[in-house]
Structure 1
């Protein structure tokens, strides 16, 4: 097959078509290897900074020719998402709510981006019927922020996110590898200067300061794990039950950025600010009905229920104690029972013999080592509580 080369006029037509389709930014990058990243990726893996959510083969992430036959261009796109709820729900003392990070609002962005990219591919194929394409979102091999930076959509900030001039870092990214050669766009210069606000604000010191991070310390990662959340992170998630926005909220480029462009990305307040207590005992069907369309549901019900328990503990929600005791005694999953025990220890204000006996009785039935350790810690916490003033 002859090599395919797009004219400057056709490139402009594609840029306009992207706008008509509902793509907020588009850029064109060469499909040359990203081999300048190889040493850094290997260092990060050796240091234990990777999460396991990344594509496992480093070579596939940096050499497009390994995953596509004769790649010429990577077309990068960005869609802006909202940063503020139009009608936020209030926090009520006996009806505490959790919070989903902004990137998980609305319909799962993977579906939205794939729809936009497939429609763009169809437009290009009208002119180049023999061309080949591989669209990807963040589950593909390539690194979205790196391809977007090369394509001129923005620059990678100190927090590792792509920062665009128009929308800040509140953008979803996708890319399409093709064997059509387009004229490439210029990269955007690094724009953080001497600003370290995201580094200073990160509560777990996950950001390394050069655009890389220790992914395992990131609160977003911690909310997505399936086992016990390490104790050092529990208070730090506050009432956020999925993701983390802190490094975006403090970024100067994000101040005043709040775009409600795409109807699919409009958040349902009851979904992104869910009542926490009902989450503890919700069925799989209820979970799918409330959260199934959101990106934040991809890990399933159990991590979000665990996080809801932790959020209730962080609120010190006394009204949740009866339900937490029910979870402690009746939930079939050891990790959820153990997290409930920890939460009871955090919420209970004063020494209460009945509460001590309740946790001790459940501890006697446990066989899972991690759950036993959690309940022993909770029991010690409860036993060390002070008596109410009128009983001293």
Structure 2
């Protein structure tokens, strides 16, 4: 196929149709000029808000310069994939009840239950998106022959939200995540950086207005201002990215959130429009939508590795898994859930081989006065 301006427009339309066939909720195209993002990113790094995520600084401004990451890049084909479990289709009723159920998991009455971020209850999204984006790239290649491209999903120094916003997939919310009028923010993003001069889509305006729900509800006040996140205080960072000890002053604020945190999304008004996934990949595994802290804390390392096979949770490793559970179990005391079962579970790990685990278990027992 000889690429011309006319058939590039047709190709863009076809790419979007193929994307929907592959399970993407939406797919848009943008240029890759992110120069306006550089000053804000540099200031964010200078403030140390990236914490121990050294990879955020390691590539310098390459993150805002896709053509330096993949030479020849002039376009980003950005995809969006919903990830709420399919079961919500039947359980939603008016399509809003799921939010009330998830919010209830954070109440003191549910202190003994582990709260895992919605995105991590099913299969690892990296594998799902990468596979389907590669299939999309293969279809394009089959149509036009060889072309320059690379596929990414949260796997390289790429400003995903900035590219998605530029492509018109939504706008950046005050919590720094992308928001979409028809789908809220419970979706994954992925990109195909390419040298194809495809026609670009228009960006859209922000619709957050004066709302500050995400800022107000953040348990650790990690959203230090509109569009500004101090990752060092974010529960997702503390329970996933942080490799060492969780700061003692932040532990009580984590509650029963043992892997990630959805609060800023759950209380965002736009997420009344969040859509269930059309794929079975994000169905809940291992009962992670209802498991107790004691149950998950009792897993052996072999059980953890086996049950978390194919899950994004496995990347934190067994020690950090136990660390997070210990914090949740310790916080159960303040919520009035200081049961003998919880104390016994903690005591059984008081001499764990890992110093990291022992420290957090000792803290948890102290909360229970044990």
TM-score with structure 1 setting the length: 0.82
More displaced 10-residue stretch of structure 1: 161-170 or 284-293: 284-293
Deviation at 1:116, TM superposition (A): 1.3
Matched, 1:57 2:76: no
Greater Cα radius of gyration, structure 1 or 2: 1
Match of 2:365 among 344, 365, 388: 344
Q: Deviations for 1:355-381, whole angstroms, at most 9, x for unmatched residues?
A: 5xxxxxxxxxxxxxxxxxxxxxxxxxx
Matched, 1:70 2:72: yes
Q: Distance in 2 between matches of 1:268 and 1:245?
A: 18
* Aligned 8 A contact 2:24 2:81 in 1: yes
Q: 1:73 to 1:94 in 2, by over 3 A?
A: closer
* Aligned 8 A contact 2:257 2:328 in 1: yes
More displaced 10-residue stretch of structure 1: 308-317 or 154-163: 308-317
Moved over 4 A (4+): 2-6, 83-95
* Aligned 8 A contact 1:306 1:336 in 2: yes
Give the 5 Å matches for 1:101-250: 101-224=117-240, 225-250=242-267
Q: Deviations for 1:257-305, whole angstroms, at most 9, x for unmatched residues?
A: 2413111011126134433224335332200222222212211111121
* Aligned 8 A contact 2:86 2:279 in 1: no
- Residue of structure 2 in register with 1:23 after alignment: 24
Give the 5 Å matches for 1:260-275: 260-268=277-285, 270-275=287-292
- Residue of structure 2 in register with 1:276 after alignment: 293
- Residue of structure 2 in register with 1:304 after alignment: 321
* Aligned 8 A contact 1:167 1:259 in 2: no
- Residue of structure 2 in register with 1:320 after alignment: 342
SS, match of residue 205 in structure 1: coil
Deviation at 1:151, TM superposition (A): 0.8
More displaced 10-residue stretch of structure 1: 279-288 or 208-217: 279-288
* Aligned 8 A contact 1:276 1:312 in 2: yes
Unmatched tracts of structure 2, length 5 or more: 92-100
- Residue of structure 2 in register with 1:10 after alignment: 11
- Residue of structure 2 in register with 1:43 after alignment: 43
Q: Deviations for 1:45-81, whole angstroms, at most 9, x for unmatched residues?
A: 1111013434421221011121112112100000011
Matched length: 346
Unmatched tracts of structure 1, length 5 or more: 349-354, 356-392
Deviation at 1:83, TM superposition (A): 6.8
Deviation at 1:85, TM superposition (A): 6.5
Q: Distance in 1 between matches of 2:274 and 2:330?
A: 32
* Aligned 8 A contact 1:196 1:209 in 2: no
Q: Distance in 1 between matches of 2:221 and 2:283?
A: 31
Alignment RMSD (CA, Å): 2.5
Q: Distance in 1 between matches of 2:46 and 2:109?
A: 46
Q: 1:30 to 1:36 in 2, by over 3 A?
A: same
* Aligned 8 A contact 1:61 1:143 in 2: yes
* Aligned 8 A contact 2:176 2:228 in 1: yes
Deviation at 1:161, TM superposition (A): 0.4
Q: 1:196 to 1:84 in 2, by over 3 A?
A: farther
Deviation at 1:105, TM superposition (A): 2.2
Q: 1:256 to 1:40 in 2, by over 3 A?
A: closer
SS, match of residue 255 in structure 1: helix
